[in-house]
Structure 1
Amino acid sequence: MEPLLEKELELAAQRKGITKSQFIIDAVERALGRKDPYQLFLKVKAESAQDPDAQRLAQAFVAEPGVPYDTEAARAALIAKLKAKHGISLD
């Protein structure tokens, strides 16, 4: 293998936190269609639909419909709080 290509392989494996061998195995599985990310996503989604704990967790994180987050008001409140904390005034 070319030294530059091997170094790229090594760095890519480090970024993923796996060994070079495991990186190559994952790439080959993906190329052969054994590890299709979309199929894995669908499998996990189907399994989580059957899991009562996942359903309760999903219900806990459902956002309130129709109540958008007011970014400008939150920004103004944060700036006012920081100015008060650090004693900064625009006078």
Structure 2
Amino acid sequence: MVNAISSGFAIYFVVWWITLFVMLPFGVRSQHEDGEHVPGTDPGAPVMPLMRRKLIGTTIVSMIIYGIAAWAYYAGLLNVVRLSRLMGFSG
């Protein structure tokens, strides 16, 4: 039981980080695009990164992705035989 819980947390952790990296570029305007360059900074630096909003959005989206994956696993849709067939291995 403890192994299943820790594996679930590890999988959610990976899903959360992948989702964060996907969401980072959305809604970001650089100083170059905005036209207001602060001296001593890179023109590609974001004006407002909106990290709080992205962290909350990442948590919500990753919960949905993890929930769908967990449902598919417990429904028997994600098993070794089915996934090996999808990847082209004989099984």
TM over 0.5: no
Q: Point out which structure has higher relative CO (alpha carbons under 8 A, 6+ apart).
A: 2
TM-score normalised according to structure 2 size? 0.32
Which has the larger share of helix?
1
